[in-house]
Amino acid sequence: MSVYQIVFSPTGGTKKAADIFVKSFCPQSTLIDLTDRSQDYSMYSFHAEDICIIAVPSYGGRVPDCAVSRLRQMQGNSARAILIVVYGNRAYDDTFAELQDTLANCGFICAAAVAAIAEHSIMRQYAASRPDAQDEKELASFAQIIREHIASDAPSTPLNLPGNRPYREYNGVPIKPQASQSCTQCGLCAKECPVGAIDTDSPSKTDTHRCISCMRCIAVCPQKARSVSSILLAASSMKLKKACSGYKHNELFLPQQ
């Protein structure tokens, strides 16, 4: 049996939550980075004994499109999947439903799931500094419970996860990072962009149609030369203030035995 950690995490929040879980779940795993647009994901063909811990952020209550299309190329071959959906303290809406359908369609058996909170990667005042010490304890305990559940091999019903079908509509957000004068054209943002929206020869140019507003370019820029419109950011923050406030808890989903 091998354990794989398959993660789409442009700014590191999803990876942080997945790492806490994986550390408690097993001593060794292989990382597959779904943000790497140069990879041929069709080379991943798993075995029925494998366990794949698949972690994605919720974007507009959905799985980011490019994560769906990369996962779709993999062959689950009845490997068990543990789904981790990470969200920025608003809601995950239909993210689990879409992730579960995507994985089932490529041959994974969805065994268990976890919802985790991480700092909102656009409006960073929401869920700031999460996952924190309390989250760490919770996620580590979820990992132990899931491990015992899988080891018990007890017959169980299919995993029932929250979400609607058809999934809610999501057409992206209008908040697109742009480069300022301090851009030195080092090209790191273009290299790291999960969807290739930044011109490699002229990194201050962004293809706003291709951009998924994941904020990775802002996170990786060594000059802090990339940012989003402060007006749009303030307007979105105000609009989502009520939905994003209050303490939200991590959640564990297991099939009924």
Which residue shows structure tokens 């820029």? 221
Contact 56, 118 (CB under 8 A): no
Q: Considering the complex, what minimum distance in angstroms separates the CB of residue 257 from ligand FMN?
A: 30
Question: Could you tell me the two tokens for 13?
Answer: 């929040």
Contact 185, 223 (CB under 8 A): no
Residue 5 in contact with ligand FMN, rule: CB under 6 A: no
Residue 87 in contact with ligand FMN, rule: CB under 6 A: yes
Contact 80, 108 (CB under 8 A): yes
Indicate which single residue of 21, 44, 46, 59 sits in contact with ligand FMN (rule: CB under 6 A).
59
Considering only residues 197 to 216 of the shown chain, the ones binding ligand FMN according to CB under 6 A are 213-215
Q: Considering the complex, what minimum distance in angstroms separates the CB of residue 216 from ligand FMN?
A: 7
Residue 14 in contact with ligand FMN, rule: CB under 6 A: yes
Residue 12 in contact with ligand FMN, rule: CB under 6 A: yes
Indicate which single residue of 89, 100, 206, 236 sits in contact with ligand FMN (rule: CB under 6 A).
89
**Buried b vs exposed e over 163-185: b needs ≥16 C-beta within 10 Å?**
beeebeebeeeebbbbbeeebeb
Nearer residue to ligand FMN within complex by CB, 60 or 163: 60
Contact 81, 109 (CB under 8 A): yes
Question: Could you tell me the two tokens for 192?
Answer: 């790291």
Nearer residue to ligand FMN within complex by CB, 50 or 228: 228
Contact 57, 83 (CB under 8 A): no
Query: Percent helix, strand and coil across the chain, each rounded to 5?
Result: 30, 20, 50
Residue 91 in contact with ligand FMN, rule: CB under 6 A: yes
Residue 88 in contact with ligand FMN, rule: CB under 6 A: yes
Strands in 136-235 per DSSP E: 178-179, 226-227
Using the contact rule CB under 6 A, the part of the chain among 25-33, 37-45, 84-92, 132-140 near ligand FMN is: 84-92
Residue 74 in contact with ligand FMN, rule: CB under 6 A: no
Residue 21 in contact with ligand FMN, rule: CB under 6 A: no
Q: How far is it, in rounded angstroms, from Cα 156 to Cα 143? A: 18
Residue 131 in contact with ligand FMN, rule: CB under 6 A: no
Using the contact rule CB under 6 A, the part of the chain among 4-12, 184-192, 200-208, 221-229 near ligand FMN is: 4-12
Question: Which residues of this chain interact with ligand FMN, rule CB under 6 A?
Answer: 9-15, 57-61, 86-91, 118-122, 173, 213-215
